[in-house]
Structure 1
Amino acid sequence: MPEGGAPLPHAAPTAASAAAAPSPRPPLRTGLLVTLVLGGLTATPPLAMDMYLPSLPEVTRSLHAPAATVQLTLTACLAGMALGQLVVGPMSDRWGRRRPLLAGIAVYLLATALCAVAPTVELLVALRFAQGLAGAAGIVIARAVVRDLYDGPAMARFFSTLMLISGVAPIVAPLVGGQILRVTDWRGVFVVLTGVGLLLGALVWTRLPETLPPHGRHGGGTGEALRSMRRLLADRPFTGYVLAGGFAFAALFAYIAASPFVIQEIYGASPQTYSLLFGLNSVGLVVAGQVNGKVLVGRVRLDRVLACGLAAIALAAAALLLMACGALGRVGLAPVAAALFVLMSAMGFTLPNTQTLALTRTRHAAGSASALLGTTSFLIGAVASPLVGVAGETTAVPMAVVQLAAALAALACFVGMCRPRRAGTGTRSRTGTGDDGPADGGTPRPSAAESAGDENSGDETAGNETARDETARDETARDETARDETAGEKS
């Protein structure tokens, strides 16, 4: 894989368009503003959920609904984001990145504005589903744009940069949400979200160019999209990275859904204190992501970093479970907050690398691959979120159980499906992937080791040919000498 971050060729042209395909265009420079726009798009989930989190207990009282039902507003948003990515990803491979993205932002704005006036919890759940469905466009297309432009370690670094930008959202969003509750009720949160969406939509309209040219887009409609996804899922390492990332997201979403009740209801913290703790955990995630992108990428294999991140999540979840069930005696908020900090920080070594390692497996269907990544993550997260409330608001055991189970499942998928290939069966790039080529059938780029091997092979071949020439000349000279001696004896 290229180390310098050279932009990739775009999606493979169809047979009909291959002959007419223009020469490669100059690469798009991802300036600061474009990077900020992509970061804003990836920040859609934390903005839509984290700003709303401090108001969950108030929504319960305002709409006279049980906590489990109010938590369905999170589940509905997650499910909408999961299904939306599955639709928007193939659409962006077929029609380009901009048009599906702008349409999704428009629907997101409408659904968010209606959430602010929802009179019942049932309608709020439905509108949150629509909000997630439309907001999925920003998530999936932002990843596809990055895959359009970068490969290998450069892609991992860019994803870590996006994590820095999008990581500001979970730091700021709960703080803003807590302050909004000081001056208004939970409906004001959705008014602010509508304003943020308007600003982001304006930036996308004016500043984000198209990164997938017409000759690189897929035709064939739904059938071709399904075949592309089937090819991707048939690739065992790709599926392993997708599942590992999905279960890591489940641990994250269990924290998002349960932490307002655990910290505020069980440990008696105020909404403002909860917001500060949530922001601190997000700082840990952002710092870990930057260490991953600025220090580890290019020096340590990404699969090794990923394994350490998953192991740290599992250990932190196990500690939370021991504290929640009383095995360590009566503990206060500080030890629980410390374990949650470790768990969230480990996400910074996990999430960028599962995305990079999975997307490195594909070249010509970045939208579909990004959709499978996002859909799997949000579906598993949507299943995990309501499980944390099955025992009510007075215990943290369900949250810890879900997090530990998700972390162990992620480790199992990584070890069982993404295990490094044995020596002699193929080389492996510095990104930690195998050399059996992209899952979508694209032509794999040779790694540095393979290129060096080709050069060495050429040198050896040239040397062998020279030796054979010298041997042939020696044999010819000996034959001529023997013939001369025979002729002299006869004469």
Structure 2
Amino acid sequence: MTQAKGQHVSKPEFIALMAMMFATIAFSIDAMLAALPAIAADIAPGGVDQAAWIMTAFLIGMGVGTFFTGPISDAYGRKPVVYVGLAVYAVGAVLAWVAPSLELVLAARVLQGLGAAGPRVVSAAIIRDLYVGRAMASILSLTMMVFLLVPAIAPLIGALITDAFGWRAIFPAFLIFGAMIFVWFGTRMSETLAPADRRPLRIGLMADAVRQMFAHPTVRLSIMVQTLMLMILFSILTMVQPIFEVSFDRAESFPLWFGAIALASGVSSLLNAAIVGRFGMRRLVTWALLAQLVVSTTFVLWMMADLPGLFAFYIFWQWGVMFQGGLTVANLNAIAMEPMGHIAGMAASVIGAVSTVLGAALASPIATLFDGTPMPLVATVLIACLLASVMMQMMRRAEVAAA
């Protein structure tokens, strides 16, 4: 890690802070999961499916904000973008807290997502400012571990708050979370982008940066695979609560099951951080996808044969999908960021915006396929991993050809 002037955070503290900034997204989504039935009963006459738009609206705002925060941070520095993003996030949380209708809550959630893009994108850019190559992948893996661990406690926190104070009280929890990041980041981190390295905020330069990224076959394919991985994650987030409630009649214990799965899957990020230096990012992503293809194919056949033990297999399968996330998302991000160090902020924005917006857009219609069984979700993961595996082979051939 190349210390910026005045930088005084240790490596463990740096990882913890970057992970906290990453986790803004996970906490803002997962804390709402257990509250969906209460939201539906209060302001969503269309039921839980309509209430789930509270998560989709946040993702839309985050996706839009993600595209702009990177180039702005390239022009004006990393810290101002984090401050403004957290301020917008706080305003969105307050508006959602007091909004009298679902439509206004959704609008506020879009604003909240727009603000959350600031810490999310800038954290990736800061990591790229200070690290390169497999070291960057290792740091991203450790931050991703927290991203995966947050779902272990967020639904339970949301459930406890909802039971004690009502679902609207979740939004003050978001305010507290954002304030903690604001103070920690503001007092402990120095600016990592020197004035001499900043790029003016010009449309021509932004367009040129985007052209550079999509002209690079490895970057282009990495973004496409990351999109599929996020589509899987968003599909699970929108369908997991109905699956536990309708398919397995376990609505009350859902936060505990979901938390246990997330805790267990967090091991994958630790594993990735430990072995990525030896095996490399592309190889680990490829292996994880192939393993998921085997497990998901077996699960589809299991359901088609109507064999016993469906709930146990589903728990194992969902753990496997989230375990796969720890071995893929951070590595794919590192693969795409590696050649783009000269435009790290812009690269982080484009990667985040394209993968998030397209991932959420692809996941939305999948949620409507829910038929009371896990089959649509499992089949979606199977198809996505198959396509991603093909793209990873294309990436390998492109790298060999370029060598």
TM above 0.5, yes or no, is yes
1:389 equivalent in alignment to 2:389: no
Greater CA drift, 27-36 or 222-231 = 27-36
1:230 equivalent in alignment to 2:225: no
Counterpart of 1:345?
323
| Contact 1:251–1:404 (CA under 8 A) maintained in structure 2 | no
CA distance, structure 2, for counterparts of residue 307 and residue 332 of structure 1: 27
| Contact 2:232–2:363 (CA under 8 A) maintained in structure 1 | no
CA distance, structure 2, for counterparts of residue 58 and residue 323 of structure 1: 34
Counterpart of 1:154?
135
Counterpart of 2:270?
290
Counterpart of 1:34?
14
Q: Deviations over 1:191-239 (max 9, x none)?
A: 2112111221122222221100111100152221121111111111111
| Contact 1:27–1:149 (CA under 8 A) maintained in structure 2 | no
Gaps of 5+ in 2: none
Counterpart of 1:414?
392
Counterpart of 1:483?
none
**1:97 partner letter:** R
TM-score (norm 2): 0.93
CA distance, structure 2, for counterparts of residue 408 and residue 266 of structure 1: 26
Counterpart of 1:257?
238
Greater CA drift, 212-221 or 99-108 = 212-221
Gaps of 5+ in 1: 1-5, 9-24, 427-491
CA RMSD of aligned residues (A): 2.1
| Contact 2:235–2:377 (CA under 8 A) maintained in structure 1 | yes
1:198-277 pair list within 5 angstroms: 198-271=179-252, 273-277=253-257
SS at structure 1 position matched to 2:305: coil
Q: Deviations over 1:394-419 (max 9, x none)?
A: 23333223322322222222222443
Counterpart of 1:440?
none
1:63-212 pair list within 5 angstroms: 63=43, 64-212=45-193
1:311 equivalent in alignment to 2:290: yes
CA distance, structure 2, for counterparts of residue 168 and residue 397 of structure 1: 26
| Contact 2:34–2:159 (CA under 8 A) maintained in structure 1 | yes
CA distance, structure 2, for counterparts of residue 52 and residue 35 of structure 1: 26
- Among candidates 13, 17, 29, match of residue 49 of structure 1: 29
**1:81 partner letter:** M
| Contact 1:33–1:207 (CA under 8 A) maintained in structure 2 | no
**Structure 1 pair 72/270, CA: closer, same or farther in 2 (3 Å)?**
closer
**2:180 partner letter:** L
- Among candidates 353, 374, 383, match of residue 375 of structure 1: 353
1:435-446 pair list within 5 angstroms: none
Q: Deviations over 1:440-473 (max 9, x none)?
A: xxxxxxxxxxxxxxxxxxxxxxxxxxxxxxxxxx
CA distance, structure 2, for counterparts of residue 40 and residue 341 of structure 1: 22
CA distance, structure 2, for counterparts of residue 199 and residue 161 of structure 1: 20
CA distance, structure 2, for counterparts of residue 120 and residue 87 of structure 1: 29
What fraction of aligned residue pairs are identical, expressed as a percent?
26
CA distance, structure 1, for counterparts of residue 159 and residue 205 of structure 2: 46
| Contact 2:37–2:47 (CA under 8 A) maintained in structure 1 | no
Greater CA drift, 226-235 or 88-97 = 226-235
**Deviation at residue 331 of structure 1 after TM alignment:** 4.5
- Among candidates 34, 42, 48, match of residue 62 of structure 1: 42
CA distance, structure 2, for counterparts of residue 66 and residue 419 of structure 1: 48
**Deviation at residue 148 of structure 1 after TM alignment:** 0.1
**Deviation at residue 373 of structure 1 after TM alignment:** 1.6
Q: Deviations over 1:153-185 (max 9, x none)?
A: 211111122123333311111121122232122
Greater CA drift, 328-337 or 168-177 = 328-337
**Structure 1 pair 71/418, CA: closer, same or farther in 2 (3 Å)?**
farther
**Deviation at residue 34 of structure 1 after TM alignment:** 3.3
CA distance, structure 1, for counterparts of residue 190 and residue 132 of structure 2: 19
Greater CA drift, 34-43 or 160-169 = 160-169
CA distance, structure 1, for counterparts of residue 190 and residue 365 of structure 2: 41
